[in-house]
Amino acid sequence: MDYAHLGRSGLRVSRLCLGTMNFGPLTPPADAHAIMDRTHDLGINFFDTANRYGGAFSPPGQVANNDQSHPGWTEEIIGDWFASGSRRRERTVLATKLYGAMGDWPNEDRLSALNIRRACDASLRRLRTDYIDLYQMHHVDRDTPWDEIWQAMEVLVAQGKILYAGSSNFAGWHIAQANDAAAARDFFGLVSEQSIYNLMTRDIELEVLPAAISYGVGVIPWSPLQGGLLGGVLKKEREGRRRLSSRAQETVERSREQIEAYENLCDEIGEEPGSVALAWLLHQDGVTGPIIGPRTAGQLEDAQRAVSLKLDDKVLERLDSIFPGYRPAPENYAW
């Protein structure tokens, strides 16, 4: 496994990040524990979760176990795994998130100082740990001033409850605004940003990625396979191994020519489409490592190939011709 610094920080994390959103509703706790053990065996030390994960959901074509589902369940599963010993917690760079509602009472969501304090304490209890390595804002809160947010985060750092702060789904100007406000307080500010980023969805190249690079914020792409569409969907469809929802099927039909060209290119170079999609992200400036969300141990094994897969310039150029990206703004749309 390769490692990289998370943004401008001294923290070293694996080039693949284990996403845990499936743990509970789709992946039973025992299977989730086995996946996390195997993740450590592969040298992956970076785990991502959120306080909302574990609630009921049913992705297309998948059967969810919603009998026990509740927000916080995923953190509880991870906490039980930590409690089983063998230095599991010490070997893990743990990231979680807050923002979404954890109840129906005022101040049980968003980024007020009150909710930041309560949400952090609740995550610590569920995760059965006394600190969180990376505490991330799952969305920007336009109603809460940055001075309030950073004051609350500073208290958590001073108390030893969190080490670093990160963001998710921020615009480029949110990253700039947040880090400028932090600098004015002599606070370290954001070290990471989670954004949707993959060959098919490259909008962050306009402003988010340039802002992140400029401010030393490491980018952690989520949905690196565009919901499976970059994981060999057409081949799986032909072989009867994947059933698409009507919405996903519509997306496939709109992009069928591109996806076919992509899968053909992967066949030419003798690599699995999912590995190529992940490897492409690892070749992009500013990217620390994509979030992989395996439901099974087999999917985890498949993902690790991306770290050692080197794509030459010709392959990268062909990928760009199949899935055109963006130059940084404003050059992309102005002279």
pLDDT in tens, 261-277: 999 999 999 999 999 99
Q: Which of these is catalytic: 3, 53, 215, 333?
A: 53
Q: Which amino acid is at 134?
A: L
Q: Give the CA distances from residue 137 to residues 81, 167, 209, in Å, rounded to whole numbers and listed in that order.
A: 24, 5, 18
Kindly report the CATH number assigned to the domain that includes residue 130. Answer: 3.20.20.100
- The closest alpha carbon to 100, from 54, 50, 151, belongs to 50
Q: What is the pLDDT of residue 302?
A: 87
With respect to residue 257, please indicate whether it lies within any of the assigned structural domains.
Answer: no
In a domain, 265, yes or no: no
The whole-number pLDDT of residue 239 equals 82
Q: How many CB atoms lie within 10 A of CB 100?
A: 17
Whether 218 is in a domain gets the answer yes
Domain assignment of residue 201, yes or no: yes
Residue 68 has a pLDDT of: 83
Please tell me the distance from the alpha carbon of residue 331 to that of residue 329, in angstroms, as a whole number. Answer: 5
Give the total number of structural domains in the chain.
Answer: 1
Whether residue 69 lies inside any domain: the answer is yes
Residues 6+ away with beta carbon under 8 Å from 20: 32, 47, 48, 49, 53, 74, 77, 78, 293
Active site residue 53: yes
What pLDDT, on a 0 to 100 scale, did the predictor assign at position 250? 85
* pLDDT score of 58: 56
Rounded Cα–Cα distance for residues 102 and 96 (Å): 14
In a domain, 320, yes or no: no
> Looking at residue 113, what is its pLDDT?
98
Map residue 173 onto helix, strand or coil: helix
For residue 148, give its domain range. 3-228+277-311
Give domain status of residue 39, yes or no.
Answer: yes
Q: With beta carbons less than 8 A apart as the criterion, state whether 266 and 194 touch.
A: no
- The whole-model pTM stands at 0.94
d(CA 261, CA 259): 5
- Both tokens of 282, joined, read 């690892």
Q: Are 34 and 192 in contact (CB under 8 A)?
A: no
Residue 258 and residue 41: Cα distance in Å, rounded? 36
Q: Could you say which DSSP state residue 248 is in?
A: H
**Gap between the Cα atoms of 43 and 46, Å rounded:** 9
Instruction: Say if 268 falls within a structural domain.
Output: no
Under-70 pLDDT residues of the chain: 57-65, 241-246
